[in-house]
Structure 1
Amino acid sequence: MKFELQWWYQTLSQNIGITIVTGRHFVLEIFSDASLTAWGGFCNNRATHGFWHPKDMGRHINYLELLAAFNALRSFASGFCNCSILLRLDNITATACIYRMGSVRFKSLNDITRQIWLWCESKNIFVVASYINTKQNIQADRESRNLSIETEYELSDSAFHEICYRFGTPSIDLFATLLNAKYRRYISWKPDPSALTIDAFTLPWKGEFFYAFPPFIMIIIFLNARFQSGDSYSTLNSQHAAIVLIFAVNNSDKAFLKRFLKGIYNQKPSKPRYQTTWDP
């Protein structure tokens, strides 16, 4: 209670908030949803999702809906400040908690709601939670039920600690998510609650002592990027052989790579070594 009273006193004294009475312009409209296995978010035609940490998987769905909203908010609005944002949720309890800035009945819901508002306060963001029907929340709902684990492969902690012992502690993890990041500074391949930014392939790596354990999906992205830059089928095939040898790719993933290379061959078949053949 003392903390809440101090917060109200400081906020009203500083008069820093965006007015909550008059109409406002929302710079973002963020949709979020949660299932018992994952969370999903959608904003401006961009989607993201993530699996729950083991400590959260047994939580009540109302708590997970609030956590999903918080994750989606941090994923899409981390670069914004001094603005208003509209959150769209299909859970009435979660919507009410954000609207009322807490819960007087359930401490866990009050705690996560407080985290949301403290994060918003640090950026001078005012959020408005609005309830929508699940049928209107299709994209976020689909993401929350995405069971694909291609992005969650990770090196075991013991192996990572051995690498750090032998080579030193990295300054950044280039291919990670909130769930499997090995270092506090990391880059994700899609919008992520705690990532510094997204898509490590678009950033300069010079000057960073980086750690990289790309998920399998990145292999296809890498090979496709090499193909678009002009690599021949034979070059890609050599890179494919090296990848299979180094990463010990399983049989199903090998088949996927073979189909990819077959498509490359059909588009850009190997040329003969010699343009003409000598015939005595």
Structure 2
Amino acid sequence: MACATSAIYSDASDSGFGGFSVQLSDSVCAGLWSDSESKESSTSRELRALLYVLRSLGTQLRGKKLKWYTDSQNACRIISVGSTNANLHDLSIDLYNCGMDLNIHIEPEWLPRELNSRADQLSRFIDPDDWSLNRSVFSHLDKRFGPHTVDRFASHYNAQLSRFNSRFWNPGCEAADSLTQNWACENNWVFPSAFIVLKAVQHMRECKSYGTVIVPEWPSAPFWPALSPTLGFLRTYLVAHSFA
């Protein structure tokens, strides 16, 4: 039976979800909705935000009682008694089953929107550098240089591999902030934003790791000299570079 209590805050916006645990200071969740999710009702998105935050932080909260704060009165009620709306009821069942799997008991509590500002800000965060390679191109490169084992810069909606790291915690991610992880003994898939290419390359060298790095073909960029010895390896609209 869950006993220790943690406080969780979550929120949903038109663009995405956000949440955090008071006890887990570095565990911040955020992500964008898919096209279909963004068209759902506000109550559906609020329930889905709870579900995605639970899936993101669940293993760190296993066996706990969660006092869950949301500014949606409808979501609080549905978690407690269900809904006559099939979609909303299914989401509440998914949330219940996820909690059961992790031995987590959820006690929802409504709070005014102005007291949920941090979760609200997280739900509205849009990372302009959150991108991924076309899956057909990834498949080609994975066949040539793979199989790759971990996608080091991804989100739950664009990860190329089942194992991935994200900027923030989101459903299914193995770790947040990939540059704090040990990349050794993996064939890493690395598609970072341009401003951290140098950090990613340096991290690979420090970990003595192996992988494929995807960068823009951008000769004037600060990272270009660090990669110049291997230019010509793949030069179309990107460059793939493997480190041994």
Q: TM-score range by the shorter chain?
A: 0.7 to 0.9
> Aligned match of 2:120 in 133, 136, 141?
141
Provide the residue aligned with 2:72 in structure 1: 91
Secondary structure of the 1:31 match is strand
Q: Comparing both structures, which one devotes a greater share of its residues to strand?
A: 2
Aligned-pair distance for 1:240?
3.1
Alignment RMSD, CA only?
2.8
Query: Which amino acid letter does the alignment assign opposite residue 39 of structure 1?
Result: F
Aligned-pair distance for 1:238?
8.7
Unpaired stretches in structure 1, ≥5 consecutive residues: 1-16, 19-23, 226-236, 250-280
Tell whether 2:186 aligns with 1:188: no
Query: Which amino acid letter does the alignment assign opposite residue 132 of structure 2?
Result: E
In structure 2, distance between residues paired with 1:113 and 1:216: 40
**Counterparts of residues 239-254 of structure 1 (less than 5 Å):** 239-242=222-225
In structure 1, distance between residues paired with 2:221 and 2:39: 46
**Counterparts of residues 38-57 of structure 1 (less than 5 Å):** 38-44=16-22, 45-46=25-26, 47-57=28-38
Q: Comparing both structures, which one devotes a greater share of its residues to helix?
A: 1
Tell whether 2:146 aligns with 1:165: no
Tell whether 2:153 aligns with 1:175: yes
Provide the residue aligned with 2:40 in structure 1: 59
Query: Which amino acid letter does the alignment assign opposite residue 223 of structure 2?
Result: H
After TM superposition, the score normalised by the length of structure 1 is 0.68
Provide the residue aligned with 1:125 in structure 2: 104
Aligned-pair distance for 1:78?
2.2
Deviates more, 1:213-222 or 1:85-94: 213-222
In structure 2, distance between residues paired with 1:238 and 1:55: 37
> Aligned match of 1:115 in 94, 117, 120?
94
- % identity of equivalent residues: 23
Q: 1:173 to 1:224 in 2, by over 3 A?
A: closer
CA contact (8 A) 1:30 1:73 kept: no
Secondary structure of the 2:114 match is helix
Q: 1:115 to 1:239 in 2, by over 3 A?
A: same
CA contact (8 A) 1:154 1:213 kept: yes
Matched length: 213
After TM superposition, the score normalised by the length of structure 2 is 0.77
Aligned-pair distance for 1:221?
5.8
Provide the residue aligned with 1:74 in structure 2: 55
- Tell which structure's C-alpha radius of gyration is larger: 1
CA contact (8 A) 1:175 1:189 kept: yes
**Counterparts of residues 7-46 of structure 1 (less than 5 Å):** 17-18=1-2, 25-26=4-5, 28-44=6-22, 45-46=25-26
CA contact (8 A) 1:173 1:210 kept: yes
CA contact (8 A) 1:31 1:72 kept: no
Aligned-pair distance for 1:212?
1.3
Unpaired stretches in structure 2, ≥5 consecutive residues: 204-219, 239-244
